[in-house]
Amino acid sequence: MADEVACSVIGQCGVGGWGGPQPGDPDGTILLSASVVYGGIRLRWTLPAINPEAVAHVEIHRGVTTDFQQSMRLDTGSGGSYFDQVEVVTPTTFFYWVRVISIHGTIGALVGPASATAVPVAIQTIEHLSGLIDQGLLAQSLREPIERIALNYTELTSKIAERVAGDAALSAALALVQQGLQESVAFIHQEIVSRTNGQEAIITQLNTLAAVNGDSAAAIFEERSARVAADEAQAQQMLSLNAALSNVGAIVNVDRNASVSRDNALASQIATVQSTLGTEVASVRNTMETRIDQTNGRINAIWNVQVDVNGNIGGFGLMGTGRTIEAGFDVDKFWIGRAGKVRPFIIQDGVVYMDTVRIRDLTIGTQKLAPNSVTSTGVSVGGAYDLIYNTAVNLINASTDLGTSLPGGHVVVLQASIELTHDKFSSGESSTSLALSVIQLVRVANNAVLKTQYHSGTGARENIIINAADTAPTSGYNLYELRITNQSDYFFNTIHIHDSMLVVQGAKR
């Protein structure tokens, strides 16, 4: 966001410590604006309408509230703009004031505040969001280890024995196999248990289908239950398919649950498949869960798929609350595309690879540029500027981020085009007066002028091209401006800008 404020109290904005302005001091008709740009905030101000040539410099103050008393003196500026490089972790609004100091030492009145909200640069945003994601329920659920549930031969036959312990004949037959006195046994066993007590009632059905010999075992266990009580109800089903041979095991396990109370509702299904061989374990788990908990004010739905191979855990998931929907992948490599074709999007080891990309709005923290690979373009449409002598206007900005300089450094190539019309004469000026403008390409950070080109106005519509090369750009973010200054013989000069463009292209030398 940005706003614009003016000081127009004539006779007060140039008052110094001795109680009054000096002859020739500037007046206080100043317009101040603040706007957010990558890496900071751009301030712009107009020079006073009266005696602008008497401005020595502009004093700049910054605060985080609208109270000037809580602000700090930031810097001094000249011309009509200032770049405030700020680093923030979350969007932060800053407030700015300026005041003119004249060549006579007169201190003008404050102008402001103008405000803009700075946003974090890419790396700060990524680090901040990563921390928030890691603290979230979805990310934590994707990192949960999958417990070992597959059984070896000894463990599986023991569990079968527990399930049929109430059946003397099946227990005896299984014991004969385990003792080597019988080669194998196969059976189906079912047990139903029910109980009621006032409002509470529960019924459970246990089904066991098993086959066992001296070396291997296979079993299907199923448990189904329904329970009701005062203000509660629950239905549950657990199904487990097991196979084991010596120290090798495999299992498919599905656990379904639906339960309600007056203030809570839960529905879940967790399916796990797992294979084990000695100490080696490979697992996949698919979790679906919905929960409404009015006691704690919680409502969410979650679905995730995890893999866990000897403790190397990852997966993907989707979670929704009453406010947001979040999707995440906790993986080392992620890709999109059809088989047999170039994958247009790949993430591997924290690096994103993209084939052909069209982006509407792009912010870049660090670039490593191939020669002639990146172009930044600023485009501005028309406007009329009434410029007094030696006053400049910034027509347009464009930028590039070179990141950490590669060996040999970088060069930034700039090209600007301006379509304009000069008013050759001004009212009251001599017909011999010359309409002259100075057009400059400037690196904003240190106000370094890269190219100056003079242009004499003819009164006709003209197209002007200006080129420059910045052979000493800084590492990281570089902002450039296209400026035009009135250097006419007469005081006022009207310049009509019909169209302007600034192209910034960074490349390794």
Query: For the chain, which domains are there?
Result: 4-120 (2.60.40.10), 374-508 (2.60.120.1340)
- Decide: 76 and 84 in contact? Cβ < 8 Å: no
Tokens of 404: 């950490």
**CA–CA separation, 275 and 258 (whole Å):** 28
Task: Please report the DSSP string for 169-200 in residue order.
Answer: HHHHHHHHHHTTSSSEEEEEEEEEEEEEETTE
**CA–CA separation, 266 and 128 (whole Å):** 32
Per-residue pLDDT 10s for the chain (509 aa) are 444 444 433 323 333 334 456 777 887 778 888 888 777 888 888 878 788 888 888 899 999 999 999 999 999 887 778 888 888 878 899 999 999 888 888 888 888 899 999 887 766 677 777 888 888 889 999 999 999 999 999 999 999 999 999 889 888 999 998 888 889 999 999 999 999 999 999 999 999 999 999 999 999 999 999 999 999 999 999 999 999 999 999 999 999 999 999 999 999 999 999 999 999 999 999 999 999 998 888 899 999 999 999 999 999 999 999 889 999 999 999 999 998 889 999 999 888 899 888 877 766 665 555 544 555 555 554 555 556 556 666 677 777 777 665 445 678 888 887 777 766 544 444 444 556 778 888 888 888 888 888 877 666 777 788 888 888 887 777 888 888 887 765 545 567 676 677 777 766 55
* Residue 275: closest CA among 303, 324, 309: 309
Phi-psi region of 64 (alpha: psi -120 to 50; beta: other; left: phi over 0): alpha
DSSP, collapsed to helix, strand or coil, labels residue 199 as coil
Per-residue confidence (pLDDT) for residue 507, from 0 to 100: 62
**CA–CA separation, 482 and 266 (whole Å):** 62
- Decide: 271 and 257 in contact? Cβ < 8 Å: no
**CA–CA separation, 183 and 177 (whole Å):** 6
For the segment 400-419, what is each residue's pLDDT rounded down to a tens digit? 777 665 445 678 888 887 77
**CA–CA separation, 313 and 144 (whole Å):** 8
Per-residue confidence (pLDDT) for residue 145, from 0 to 100: 94
Per-residue confidence (pLDDT) for residue 12, from 0 to 100: 32
**CA–CA separation, 244 and 274 (whole Å):** 12
**CA–CA separation, 472 and 446 (whole Å):** 12
